Amino acid sequence: MIEEDGYELFAANDIREIFQRRKTDLLRTIDLLPDEVVVGRDALATLQSLVQKCQLTAPALDLNDIHITAQGRRQIDVRNDVYRPFADRTQPCMVDGQFITVAFPFSGDWNLLLFKPVTYGFIAPNACVKNNSVEYVFEGAPAIDIESMNREKDAFTKRLEKAVGSIASSIQAFNLEVEKAAADRLEAKQIDARSRQQAVNSLGIPARYRSKESESTSLKDPSEKDMGTFEYDVFISHAFEDKLEVVRPLKSLLEAADCKVWVDEAILEIGDSLPQKIDEGLRISRYGIVVLSPDFFKKNWPRYELDGLVTREMSGQGKVILPVWHNVDRDKVAQYSTPLSVRFAGNTENGVEQLAQQLLRVIKKV
């Protein structure tokens, strides 16, 4: 569930969903490598690059920098207060009270804190992930009980530390797993490629392979084939930090031109599975606008979305990815993805209005 200005802690499905998706995409990418790469002298360097892009960096808490980000009075729901008699605790009971918001900073990718740890269950309804911190809200009505608050802070800190440690252990195991799986898959590809080449050489006749381009000239453009089967015109993949400046105004401009736009905060509802809904959004959207920015490059969750769009293009659906540069240049994009850096991309430097017009010429083919 997406909060007003943050994401609910550990609210999405098991983190193993991310592991499985990334491993599957990595092995699929290796399977698609041409023989000249598989048996070439740079095969191991190519494999290492692919593995590094697949592997994850675990978030790490900085317990020496815990700090307060907000405090004041507001309406507080006290239905679960065991010292208050209620006939029906299923209904909210709002009273005036105090609140204090405490931030627990961390390094690494905040997206990984959206998923349930593998070996440690943790429910924290008063916590969300925001601005590279886990923010926890302490409440009390009519006032906060200081002793209770300090006990709650200590208990929450221990539980959070244990949960993040569980995630780190899972990621370490995943990184080792994909490294071995990728090496095994490449070795199998190399054996297959060399045995086929040996068989070809034994025939003693020249090879004249048809190019993929010539095979596809008689086929209908796959980008046109399924135009009527998509519920949304575009899916916008982005980092949370770019939502206010780029994504929301861009969404408004595209919708004003009768485009149906899939954006997480407009689609997701309480109780939704984040990975499942995003996979659905990728599947039912004709194009994927990818807002490439410094914040995008830091995160794994947008990469999950981009991988899904790449998979669609590789499966023969024509042009799917519409890249947009935001506060980046070609060199920075190339450091993240060489194929993306050589694509013609929209840019926010001339304003979101002009960007929207560029995108509409592709989306609407006007």
Phi then psi for residue 342, to 5 deg, are -95, 0
pLDDT at 116 over 70: yes
Most confident among 106-115, 164-173, 261-270 (mean pLDDT) = 164-173
Q: Once rounded to an integer, what is the mean pLDDT over residues 56-85?
A: 88
pLDDT at 202 over 50: yes
pLDDT at 1 over 80: no
Domains assigned to the chain: 1-194 (no CATH), 222-363 (3.40.50.10140)
pLDDT, tens only, 139-186: 998 999 999 999 999 999 999 998 899 889 999 999 999 999 999 999
91 band by pLDDT with thresholds 50, 70 and 90: confident
Q: Which of 175, 80, 159, 149 is nearest to 120 (CA)?
A: 159
pLDDT, tens only, 300-318: 656 656 666 766 665 556 6
> Identity (one letter) of the amino acid at 121?
G
Quote the tokens at residue 198: 């040996």
252 C-beta neighbours (distance < 10 Å), count: 12
Q: What is the Cα–Cα distance from 349 to 291, expressed in whole angstroms? A: 13
* Beta-carbon contacts of residue 101 (< 8 Å; ≥ 6 apart): 68, 69, 70, 71, 135, 136, 137, 138
Q: Once rounded to an integer, what is the mean pLDDT over residues 316-324?
A: 78
What is the model's pLDDT at position 222? 39
More confident site: 47 or 296: 47
The full DSSP string for 302-331 is: HHHHHHHHHHHHHTT----EEEEESS--HH
pLDDT at 11 over 90: no
Quote the tokens at residue 315: 């499966």
Q: What is the Cα–Cα distance from 359 to 324, expressed in whole angstroms? A: 9
What is the model's pLDDT at position 130? 81
299 band by pLDDT with thresholds 50, 70 and 90: confident
Radius of gyration of the chain (CA): 25
Quote the tokens at residue 244: 């206010």
Q: Which of 130, 236, 115, 210 is nearest to 171 (CA)?
A: 115
More confident site: 341 or 154: 154
Q: What is the pTM of this model?
A: 0.57
What is the model's pLDDT at position 302? 61
pLDDT at 7 over 80: no
More confident site: 316 or 227: 316
More confident site: 215 or 328: 328
**C-beta separation of 307 from 25 below 8 A:** yes
Q: What is the Cα–Cα distance from 95 to 101, expressed in whole angstroms? A: 18
pLDDT at 334 over 60: yes
What is the model's pLDDT at position 174? 93
The residues annotated as belonging to the active site are: 305
